[in-house]
Structure 1
């Protein structure tokens, strides 16, 4: 959208038209090299790919790694490579690829791939449901067509957005220029910085007589998204980090966003402007919203503890002017994407915008109903025509007449961002719910696993619930709709697992398999990395393409862990003479080391030796051995020696 570029000196805004400066998703590295923690995942396979190795296995590993990491844009690219390299995929890869395509907006191709999933596994419950509901946006469609919307006539060719109720008026942000002494011009797009305007509301929701809101509030930088206390005497608003004619920057030279508070004095003018105590020069806080009683504030921020690019937080406002420590609303609301522009209606519904929850494209507006314990009974996309393929945000509504406004940069507007009127014709549908318990256990030991992340998604891949297992390995999901779900379970050190669960079953077990292993001196790195056999042609020692791909994984692991030293040990079966086998294995060991040296591993980190047939895995001297047993003896080992 237009104002994604409108960033004063420069902060990446969490305006709906804005991205935060931090992406909130930093991949966790290995905490301690001495632990020798290995995982055949992104860090290893990315390096292998950079060396030019390509294979269906590589595509699948990279795609799954990004998919379970939540980077669906990257996963779509790797699933596409996997799809093009092998048209006979396991059905689950069609399912994941289709959802990754949907996430990046390629709906037509997503439907095509999902059809292939249905054909590949017609008895799967997901296939049964999808076959009878070809439109996988069905849930959003059920919530659609509940509004009348129209473009606000008072929009300009500039950007207008971010409306808030103020008594019987509306306050909004705009880059329009209405004065002789214009506001500073942003050099990026030659538009003015945003200022706050106030206008009267007509019976049909249209606005009239817009004027500048306050000369004491508007500065030479951006102001936007106001929120007013119930008595109308306290104003909270978003501004760049600028107060008392001083602008502050973070360590990278960026001017962040802050929330400020102003009070109405006896002369009916706004003054005593101070910043909220949870602000920081190092991160942004923006888009304040107050509850009906004015004792709670909701806002968007990328402060420490944020799950994604920006999350919605909650603070208590006390009568003495102090506030509580910000509380993240949690994974029921916040995702690895952007959650922003919160608004609390007087009947206690939280409306907000997100590009992390499944939607129609860009930022979509969602509704969430609070329960007494500050959790939510539902979180739902409110559907079209409020939401579109573009960015839709800053939803507000008057619960008495069901009229309100929202902002969007959709096609058909007048400027970059425009304000629209809305009339709600009917509420969201009620939900029939049940309670369900999921227990997570270790596949090998059958012991329960605490603090595993369990995500419940419906069969259209829309997340319904997200929580962590208790010390007893269990998580209870209360009041979920009666249907089947895809349960995804993640835990560091384990491979992510997905399983279809049925809400009618009160208790279900999901097993996780260990993925990360602690290596010790003498361990075979090849086994830890789950290498396929290093194969050589008969009586040959040159590195074949398939063998090179496997050895490249060891090279990548040694690159990640620069203190590792490896002893290469090559073995043969007992066919041929002992002397010829010793010579052949020595040549293969030296050839393997030469290959690794050519890939940048220093010579002081490697040794190589052939053992011929002297150390078989399967004893074949006096017994007949089949090809499988002989293959086990024909092996290469990569033993950790330091």
Structure 2
């Protein structure tokens, strides 16, 4: 494909025309075009050679056509011709066709089929690291796709064409201008690249308006773009230096790519100057895809310089301030580089290195990786960005929006749902948002309570006090530019209102990885002086005042409910009421109920409740629970069972709130 030299081979070789060879020697012509990376031309010649080729040569030709399509990043077509070569038993003489077949199947996301071909290849050539890595990639890619990250990826339809659009770079410090590479019509260089059958690549620029809409891309001037291919750009923070890749062509000569540098001149740019990074006499080698640290002390770039780990590696060069030139490049080493290709580096202001690789374990083709700064000009702890940033196709050239904490930005992908060959994509990691809806109701009537004070206390030390509306609710959503409910935080909710007992609830966002709405419904018990409140049943032995605790019931547990109510409402003073049924004398029942009330108070005092917050009151048989439970009525009931149930309802322990303004001794006040 047209950009392939910049992203894979990083050099452009001008292929010798087919007229050099006899018209009928198509195989030789095709091989020569393939050697010179003129894949588009090679395919046509191979197809002509295939017509009269013998079976063994036919198998080789189909394999070579598959190679052309693979190198043009057209895995579906590559699969077709690899399959033909395998059917013609090419794998018996060249098992590499099995490895290549696995690769292109992986690039299409057919991971299970790819696994099978990797295994077939490894059975013929055991121990090949690239195949073992490919096999591992297939297994991990299936897991990553089943468990995607939360990123949202979108095609930038306004910017993309049916041609190649790739390698975005910021064109200004505000990040409102984007520079990218494209093979769209209108390039500076005339003619068609016989590698792809399309125009040559140039650098284009676009600016977005305050609504986020990108303007019509404009081609950069001829001081930047030439008749050759340009791409892989980087603009420094000040906007006064543009670094980019240029791949010059020279007839019958293998000339690699170089990094060029230009400065603004008025509204245009000065003639670009080549940065010398190659050893003397190494013109066929390539350097490209520059990125610089924020101080411009060093530059990281991709190259096939000697002494690397294999394929294209990432290298670093320091700026020599005294000599005013770039120093001898150093390889970033095996923690970053592999036997495959590492390209398209991008440094964040925080020193994090992003790059693309087909050598680290990935999902297929080039994947985007993240590496932490582990020392001075050293990086490690490489991490795959996973799906959906990465896909089974080529994904590369990532950049980030200003002040986005690496959560928004742009990158390039050849994924099939794109508008063209390779497209520019935007991505963002939506903020995990938590919303809390609090609803408060009257416990007795189930009606909403307005004017309730809600206190929200977080484990992070935060405290927010709000009031319910007429519907008895308050919604904690946005708090200006911030949010009320934060990640990895536990919260307590307390509600209070005059003449009601307080209520509490709690929830937590700890461990939550998705946005979530929390709904908390709290019920407040009316507690005016004329309201008597039930709580779990307290029982006593017959004719006894001691709290009944046996295998059947633990009255202390029942009183613990009241204890918690007093703790949760530290300003209330209560009357603790004990009642008996109507059997026995009034005087006796009055004294027994008083002793029972005192037993309850004594237990609560033992738990730490101040005695002056409780008034024990024995009501004896004077206050039946409800109409219909008077002694006369009970005596007229038909059965003893009915009578016993009614008597039990009257033998109860309750409380009512006498005041809401209790202050402990020594706490001050009037």
Sort the TM-score into its range (normalised by shorter chain): 0.3 to 0.5
The normalised TM-score by structure 1 is 0.45
RCO comparison, higher one (Cα < 8 Å, 6+): 1
